[in-house]
Amino acid sequence: MSLSDKVHVNKKRIRDFEHRDLRFVDHFSKNVLRCWWVKTNLQDQCVSQCEGVPIENFSVETLKQINIWDALTEEHQEEIVESINRRSIEAGYDLFTTEHNGQEKSTKGRKKRSDYSHLPREINCCKCSNVDSISPAVLLKKVGISVERTAENTTKLKEYLSTYECSVCSPRRRGRERNPLYVDIPRFVKCSGKDCNKECTLSAKNVYELTNGDKGAIAKYCSEYLCRSCNPDWGSWLKGKGRGRKANPENEGFPKKATCISCGKEVAITPTNIRSKAARLEITVEELLANYKCRSCGGRLKKKVEKV
């Protein structure tokens, strides 16, 4: 069932001489039928507009289908037939015999391509009988044939139409297709650590670069995969040492605090500032730390002001 049929449930689907997709509501007045005009009918979107359509815009067969024709008087029926005759003369073909399949159109506008005349605009699902609208160009692309009426193209088209399944019966995977190079790489693997069995997401690009796309190497990598918690080589410099970034090798063993010799206060220090301060005082770092004073006790260095 299409989305428009779900929205306009229990309303008969009809078409007027303009081949619009309509859903009959009621016989609003003598010469007007009230209908929903379905402008857009997609899988997840249905745009429709309720409007009054003149009764002369419908064929006699359509009026009989919605049980309107027999309820009209003989005079009114004759008026409708005369109106259809006039429209037939203006359109250049007989509206009484023309099937309302969208192949011909009496209104002005872009003409339909004649080489698409043998292609259907609607497809029935082989499972649920849902009707889906489709353009001829899209249909040709899906079937993989050209517009020429050859025996091979006709066979492929019939086979596709007979086995077509709608998106409800056969849901399509959304998104772009996966790179064919990564077809042998699983999306998820379980950690091989002891008593872990955690499901982890793999980066297909990284796995392909590590294994060069070899199936045996990929299988071995996946079977021996360890999560971050179980992998001893991942984040080893953080484990047991607290969080933070790696220390600079030249600052290894440098004290993180200095004690003021005046007030005994411990002050957090950085190696860069201490080395810079020692260079300005023309003493070693060890001498500075041994005689360190905090800012409150006069340990602050004043900037030199150049005299003009």
User: What is d(CA 65, CA 62) in angstroms, rounded to the nearest whole number?
Assistant: 5
Question: Is this model's pTM higher than 0.85 or not?
Answer: no
pLDDT in tens, 62-85: 888 888 888 888 888 888 888 888
> Can you tell me the distance from the alpha carbon of 186 to that of 207, in angstroms, rounded to the nearest whole number?
10
Confidence label for 100 from pLDDT (cuts 50, 70 and 90)? very low
Chain segment 227-256, per-residue pLDDT in tens: 988 887 776 555 555 556 667 888 888 888
| Mean of the per-residue pLDDT values of the chain | 83
User: Does residue 102 have a pLDDT over 80?
Assistant: no
Label each residue of the chain as H, E or C: CCHHHHHCCCCCEEECCCCCEEEEEEEEECCEEEEEEEEEECCCCEEEEEEEEEHHHCCHHHHHHCCCHHHCCHHHHHHHHHHHHHHHHHHCCCCCCCCCCCCCCCCCCCCCCHHHCCCCCEEECCCCCCEEECCHHHHHHHHCCCCCCCHHHHHHHHHHHHCCCCCCCCCCCCCCCCCHHHCCCCCEEECCCCCCCCEEECCHHHHHHHHCCCHHHHHHHHHCCCCCCCCCCCCCCCCCCCCCCCCCHHHCCCCCEEECCCCCCEEECCHHHHHHHHHHHCCCHHHHHHCCCCCCCCCCCCCCCCCC
| pLDDT tens-digit map of 196-237 | 889 999 999 999 999 998 999 999 999 999 998 888 777 655
Tell me if 18 sits within 8 A of 27, measured CB to CB. no
Judged against a pLDDT cut of 70, whether residue 145 lies above it is answered with yes
**24: β partners:** 35
